[in-house]
Amino acid sequence: MTATSHSTRVHPPASGATAAPARSRSIVIAPYLLAIVFAAVYATLSLARLHRLATRSWDLAIFEQAIRGYADLGMPIVDVKGPGFNLLGDHFSPLLVVFAPFYRLFPGPETLLIGQALLVGFSVAVVTRLAIRHLGNAAGIAVGVAYGLSWGIQSAINFDFHEVCLAVPLLALAGEAYLAGRWHRVAVWAGLLLLVKEDMGLTVAALGVAIVLTGARRWGIGLLAAGAGGFALTVFVVVPAVNPDGSYAYWSRLGSGGGGGPLLERLTSMPEQLLTPGTKVETLLLTLAITALIAVWSPFLLLAVPTLAWRFLGDNEYYWGTDWHYSLTLMPILFVALVDGVVRARASRWSWLRAYARFVPAIALVVALALCLQFPFRDLIRPETYDESPRADVADAVLALVSPGATVETDIGLMAQLATDRQVYWIGNANAGVAPEYVLIDTAVGWSPVPRNAARFAEQRHPDVSYRTIYDFGGYLLARLID
């Protein structure tokens, strides 16, 4: 089936939609205005968290070190993961290099957070314009706003930074091309997805299956092969070749433990694993609820299956819920499937489904607004969100004592602030062969037991050298290497 015939059969102009040439200027620019507004909101939420010294994990520092490596025209070396560790041995994410020119001009964690906000904001423009094109003006804008407010985006933005933000506009663009039947464009965006993270290969393979189901078998089979091949190449060859242990570390998250037995047991009990504990069911229901369930009518929803499968089969309980960044890539998939589902429902032989499809955009918007009461956007109206951390002055004082360019071993407390111009190691690793010039402890980040003497703690970790405590105030302990 040709691209043109597919587009005509599967995606006819929506009832009441206005043809593109007749659209007013305001409707043409509306998607981009929404993108600017949402990007500003995302950046505000992220930067406010950084301003409060409320970084949630080590990921922001990890990606800052990797991008700094690219910005210095080198490899993405991430000492936070281990001395001299190449991030390509953990995840295959070479597309992070696009941040390098901006980081070189504006070094600091703020560059990553603003860049992420702009990427996700741009995806709002893509989803809105494709929704307007296929559903009409009012319905399309409603879908765009619902997407921008979606809980998966909120949770991800509230979690500092992650490489998957690069996948969000690519998935939206691939969905736009899919709805238009422009398979060569789908292939371009899918190819770039393979450079975001190794598991995106499975998503691309699922995209191939969706295209096969629409009738474009040759394109679909090609993308299915490319996605599966890309996944296999990165997971079995590229990442192990760079990883110091010669393996792909995340197999263990599926319970394989490096062997076949436990994984086989999990596969045979897959239905139970996918539905227990109840957190997984709640996440699945919430995932479909934001599309008013209409996404199930679209083959594009298949793209969500690989991500949900590895999350629900994983041992890490953080994978199962709605927090963190794990649902970010699902959001453009779901809303492209929503648009496709509405178009298909409008052409259904069932009158009840045709009638229901008329209300789906409004329902999706109402659900998105209601969920804002439970997800991070609720913090935007709280004055304390914008307050400076009560420890800000103390943090500035201790940071000033750590010389630029120095080696420092620390916890996640001030790791992101240190990573910009120091060589940072995580205090939770052995860091063999490294005697850092400084050891910094933030006693407020969950230590048990809490270290009482920075120098003594540092010497226990590095018994061949001596340290002296140079700062002990406000919950920060800093020891410096004695020459």
* Predicted confidence (pLDDT) per residue in 456-474, tens digit: 999 999 999 999 999 999 9
Give the residue, 206 or 15, on which the prediction is more confident. Answer: 206
Locus of tokens 């139970």:
272
Give the pLDDT of residue 264: 60
Instruction: Mention every residue, 6+ apart, whose C-beta is less than 8 A from residue 152.
Output: 287, 322, 327, 328, 330, 331
Q: Is the pLDDT of residue 3 over 60?
A: no
Tell me, letter by letter, the H, E, C secondary structure of 189-256.
HHHHHCCCCCCHHHHHHHHHHHHHHHCCHHHHHHHHHHHHHHHHHHHHHHHHHHCCCCCCHHHHHHCC
Q: For residue 12, name the pLDDT band (cuts at 50, 70, 90).
A: very low
Give the pLDDT of residue 255: 52
* Predicted confidence (pLDDT) per residue in 258-299, tens digit: 334 455 665 666 777 777 788 899 999 999 999 999 999 999
* Buried/exposed 59-97: b ≥16 CB within 10 Å, e otherwise: bbbbbbbbbbbbbeeeebbbbbbbbebbbbbbbbbbbbe
**How many whole angstroms separate alpha carbon 125 and alpha carbon 113?**
19
**How many whole angstroms separate alpha carbon 468 and alpha carbon 39?**
45
For 13, 50, 202, 331, the CA distances from 304, given in Å and listed in that order, are: 26, 31, 10, 9
114, 182 contact by CB (below 8 A): no
Of 199, 150, 126, 180, give the one whose Cα is nearest residue 328.
150
Q: For residue 5, name the pLDDT band (cuts at 50, 70, 90).
A: very low
Helices (H), 243-391: 261-268, 270-275, 278-289, 304-313, 330-346, 351-371
Give the pLDDT of residue 20: 44
Using DSSP's 3-state secondary structure scheme, residue 406 falls into: coil
Q: Is the pLDDT of residue 330 over 90?
A: yes
Give the pLDDT of residue 262: 55
Give the residue, 1 or 428, on which the prediction is more confident. Answer: 428
416, 55 contact by CB (below 8 A): yes
Q: Is the pLDDT of residue 483 over 60?
A: yes
Q: For residue 313, name the pLDDT band (cuts at 50, 70, 90).
A: confident
Question: Rounded mean pLDDT of 23-52?
Answer: 93
* Predicted confidence (pLDDT) per residue in 353-388, tens digit: 999 999 999 999 999 999 999 999 999 999 998 988
* Predicted confidence (pLDDT) per residue in 217-240, tens digit: 999 999 999 999 999 999 999 999
Give the pLDDT of residue 198: 95
Mean pLDDT of the chain: 90
Question: Rounded mean pLDDT of 170-178?
Answer: 98
Q: Integer distance in angstroms from the first to the last C-alpha of the chain? A: 74
Strand-pairing partners, residue 187, are none
Question: Rounded mean pLDDT of 326-331?
Answer: 95
Q: For residue 121, name the pLDDT band (cuts at 50, 70, 90).
A: very high
Question: Rounded mean pLDDT of 235-250?
Answer: 93
Q: Is the pLDDT of residue 15 over 60?
A: no
Using DSSP's 3-state secondary structure scheme, residue 182 falls into: coil
Give the residue, 400 or 6, on which the prediction is more confident. Answer: 400
Q: Is 242 exposed, middle or buried (0-12, 13-18, 19+ CB in 10 A)?
A: middle
Q: Is the pLDDT of residue 257 over 50?
A: no
Give the pLDDT of residue 26: 86
Q: Is the pLDDT of residue 174 over 80?
A: yes
**How many whole angstroms separate alpha carbon 129 and alpha carbon 119?**
16
Q: For residue 190, name the pLDDT band (cuts at 50, 70, 90).
A: very high
Give the pLDDT of residue 107: 96
Q: Is the pLDDT of residue 4 over 60?
A: no
pTM exceeding the 0.75 threshold for the entire prediction: yes
